[in-house]
Chains A and B, each alone.
Chain A
Amino acid sequence: MDPASLNYTKTHEWVAVEGDIATIGISDFAVHLLSDLVYADLPPVGKKIVQGQPFGEVESVKAVSDLYAPVSGEVTARNEKLPDNLDLLTSSPFGDGWMVKVRLSSPGELSNLLSQTAYQSHCEAEKH
């Protein structure tokens, strides 16, 4: 997936929308901040997630961090390869490292998200 075409949250999740299906992951910036990842807890298929609410967890050697839903909807798939291959998040955060796919329940929410440019300035600001 081309990072420039994605939408982002201030909490570092990204979304790619195709029809009414959104694919969700976390950005390379987030993966870098978390450092050594040891565990990911993703919601089961069928689970309803809500924009801005936690939908899963990633654990690094330093901390457990919540994953916040960038959009609302029902989970239609999760990346079953990911929990046992967390390296995918480092090697391909915007591709093979995707986390879940959801069927959008409120497509209008997409307007709350950031463009890549806006997200990058947010990250720059967070570095300081």
Chain B
Amino acid sequence: MSYLFSTADEQQQMLQRIGVNSLQELVAQIPVGLQLNRPLNLPPALTELELERHLREVASRNVGTSTRLCFMGGGAYDHFIPSVVDEITSRGEFYTAYTPYQAEASQGTLQSFFEFQSLIAELSGLDVANSSLYDGGSGVAEAVLMASRCTARVGRIVVVGSMNPEYVQSLQTYLVNKSTEVHVVPTPTGSADLADIEQAMNGQTACVLVQHPNFFGGLEEVAKIAELAHRHGALLVQSFDPLSVGLLKRPGDLGADIAVAEGQSLGIPLQFGGPYLGILACRQQFVRKMPGRLIGQTVDRNGLRCFFLNLQAREQHIRREGATSNICTNQGLMALRATVYLSLLGPTGLKEVAELSCRKAHYAADRLSQINGCELAFSSPFFKEFVLKHSLGSDVAIRMAAAAGVDIGPALNRLPGMSWLSEEDREQGVLIAVTESRTRDEIDTLVAALS
């Protein structure tokens, strides 16, 4: 960590530079009644030695994936992060969270975003990706607003119920002052029934929103749902796991018009509340309705390759209230991490991560469902995550695992919405995710803890 100075001399220099004589004069505009006029109620300053010892002690109470075994799922996962990701992204030239003002002066940053867009377009099987949004939830909400613009329909959004319930909440927040109805199609069996989706469609439906692999880890019949949506003049928006395309077909290949994702799995550590990474890609015909920053490649006056902010005319600083979105930035540092991670993995590495996660998850599911009183909640095929039911209830199961230093969850009874799940599934079901980082021994530890 940097050591920041602020000596009395330096304070005086800063005050002189802006033409005031004292700190009191600097804050003179604040009404006297609002000024504190006494020192803050803080204990005496510690020496550097004491402070470091204190912080080390506080930090040692942190509990994280380095000290415990993480089998938690539900949208953020403990995938392995090669140390090269930290090495490159922490370089001084890159280490800022922000798209710089005068963006074109930062050609290296713009090039990394351009590479990010190219990688995401390839992963999603779609023509064009923006240079990122805030997180998976903001991606879903922006994609839905975009679908409304593309179809000129604002009446209804059909959401397949197996979508991450927190993304549905984000969507409802974005739509709170609009008349658009969010129609959730219940999926009590863990995945969608096409007839139920068909019934939910009307002539004002802008899009069908589906997550695949879904929130319970299971697979959905995306190609058929896309065909259904298109038959009703609606778009298909798919939320996907970017690592899953190492094994599964890409959203564009399944007929999705817009694909969104949480990019945390791509080299971003688990963090309480983020920052995470929103991914959004679409077909070429919708590019002008797309939100967010878009980097283009061109040539300068000397004919050399260079990068620039493209299609800015649809953005807020030019288009005002007619803009496609109020987002005028991107998740720069996280997009860079994903770019480095994906470049390291390449197509072969991506396939390996997906295959290992999938195989290990299936080994875990097999072993766990042999435990007396345990079974899988749903029968649909799954990728790296599944819902396990424990006859003693999910809360007890989570405590049994925790006692052995293993974390599972979230429990289905903690999730917003989803009132259409059966009482038994809600009370006994808990999500378990297995990434390539888990070993057979670790999986066996989990099995022993729940037995």
Contacts and interface: CB of A to CB of B under 8 A. Distances in A.
Same assembly: yes
Interface of A: 39, 41, 47, 59-64, 66
B5 to A, nearest CB: 46
A88 to B, nearest CB: 20
Given A59-B288, A60-B313, A64-B318, 16 more contacts: A39-B288, A41-B288, A47-B152, A59-B313, A59-B314, A61-B313, A62-B313, A62-B318, A63-B313, A63-B318, A63-B319, A64-B313, A64-B314, A64-B319, A64-B322, A66-B322
Interface in B317-364: 318-319, 322
Interface in B295-321: 313-314, 318-319
A77 B152 CA distance: 18
B45 to A, nearest CB: 55
Contacts of B313: 59-64
Q: Which of B313, B314, B319 has the most CB of A within 10 A?
A: B313
Closest 4 pairs (CB-CB, A-B) = A64-B313, A63-B313, A64-B319, A59-B313
A66 B318 CA distance: 13
Interface residues on B, range: under 10
Contacts of A66: 322
A63 B314 CA distance: 8
A64 B322 CA distance: 9
A7 to B, nearest CB: 26
Contacts of B314: 59, 64
A38 to B, nearest CB: 8
Nearest to B323: A64
Contacts of A47: 152
A39 B285 CA distance: 12
A60 B322 CA distance: 15
Contacts of A62: 313, 318
Contacts of A59: 288, 313-314
19 contacts: A39-B288, A41-B288, A47-B152, A59-B288, A59-B313, A59-B314, A60-B313, A61-B313, A62-B313, A62-B318, A63-B313, A63-B318, A63-B319, A64-B313, A64-B314, A64-B318, A64-B319, A64-B322, A66-B322
Nearest to B314: A64
Nearest to B319: A64
A21 to B, nearest CB: 23
A60 to B, nearest CB: 7
A62 B318 CA distance: 8
A33 to B, nearest CB: 15
Contacts of A41: 288
A47 B153 CA distance: 12
Nearest to A41: B288
Contacts of B152: 47
Nearest to A47: B152
Contacts of A61: 313
B105 to A, nearest CB: 20
Interface string B267-300: 0000000000000000000001000000000000
Nearest to B289: A41
A11 to B, nearest CB: 14
A79 B213 CA distance: 43
A69 to B, nearest CB: 15
A41 B288 CA distance: 10
Contacts of A63: 313, 318-319
A39 B314 CA distance: 12
Q: Which of A41, A47, A61, A64 has the most CB of B within 10 A?
A: A64
Contacts of B318: 62-64
B309 to A, nearest CB: 13
A116 to B, nearest CB: 29
